[in-house]
Amino acid sequence: MTSPWHFNVGAMIESENVEGQGEDQDGLFEPSVYFNASKDAWRISVAMYQEGPVNYSDKTRGTYFDRPELEIRYQFIGNDNVTFGLTGGFRNYSYHFEDESGKNTGSANMQRYKIQPDWDLKLADDWRFSGWLALYQFGHDLDKTGYSDSRVETETGVTWSINETVSLKVNYYLERGFNMDGNRNTGEFSTQEIRAYLPVVLGASTLTPYTRLGLDRWSNWDWQDDPEREGHDFNRIGLLYTYDFGNGLSTSLEYAHEWENHDEGKSDKFHYVGVGVNYAF
């Protein structure tokens, strides 16, 4: 007997703003909606996401992109000791460019293809090793968007279940953009971090303080004007709160503070806020 279909539908609003610069489009406004359907070993996910700088004083924004996305995951192994799955995905970026005066200066349409294994392994009664590894390939209009043609991203580590209420997760995170085409120097970057989480389960509520500690970070996103790599030092502390109403409805609220030190230019402080709602049926 096969299992029934299970569905999730939800929405999120996210914003990330440079401290003290809320009126010159140094903040990001990021709404998204998503729908997931799963049955047995299969899961199908679709999402629509926007991102762009926003001027909160007059409710305008500058250059932005729309991102529809499709992912399909198959779980090859799934039990208490080992879980292993593989996800294939497609994302389209539709860019809309504007100059400082708000005039439309063109558009771009870029695609991203993804393959991503994920795993979870029981090491002992209170210890697990889990993570994922995503391999991306980008194509079309890369010279307009400034992206590299390839990327790898991963987050993996161990979780210690201290008791039924508290657990500790420590992960290594890497995101690296590079070009397979040796003639390109577009949008290459590297980010390495230690990410630590401390979920605390209190009935229907889960409170998760976390931190991101930068190990190494550089980029050449300004490759058109300055081909040299710029170094960065980013660190973040945050708090995620989720509440499960018990009827399929759940909500989340997240806040994080991030400080950034640059080799070039002044240091920045960012404030991240995310609000989400999800319904499972």
**Tens of pLDDT, residues 234-278:** 899 999 999 999 999 999 999 999 987 766 666 778 899 999 999
Name which residue leads in pLDDT, 159 or 187.
159
* 2, pLDDT greater than 80: no
Q: What's the pTM?
A: 0.90
Compute the distance between CA of residue 162 and CA of residue 168 in angstroms, rounded to an integer.
7
Domain ranges of the chain: 63-280
Neighbours of 85 (CB within 10 A): 18
Q: Are 73 and 43 in contact (CB under 8 A)?
A: yes
Compute the distance between CA of residue 214 and CA of residue 164 in angstroms, rounded to an integer.
30
Compute the distance between CA of residue 56 and CA of residue 48 in angstroms, rounded to an integer.
22
- Helix H segments across 71-190? 142-145
CATH topology of domain 63-280: Porin (2.40.160)
pLDDT per residue as tens digits for the range 181-220? 888 878 899 999 999 999 999 999 999 999 999 998 888 7
What phi-psi label fits residue 23: left (phi over 0), alpha (psi between -120 and 50 degrees) or beta? alpha
pLDDT per residue as tens digits for the range 53-98? 766 666 666 677 899 999 999 999 999 999 999 999 999 999 988 7
pLDDT per residue as tens digits for the range 32-59? 999 999 999 999 999 999 988 766 666 6
Lowest mean pLDDT among 9-13, 22-26, 202-206: 22-26
Q: Are 200 and 207 in contact (CB under 8 A)?
A: yes
Q: Tell me the sheet residues that pair with 13.
A: 31, 275
What phi-psi label fits residue 102: left (phi over 0), alpha (psi between -120 and 50 degrees) or beta? left
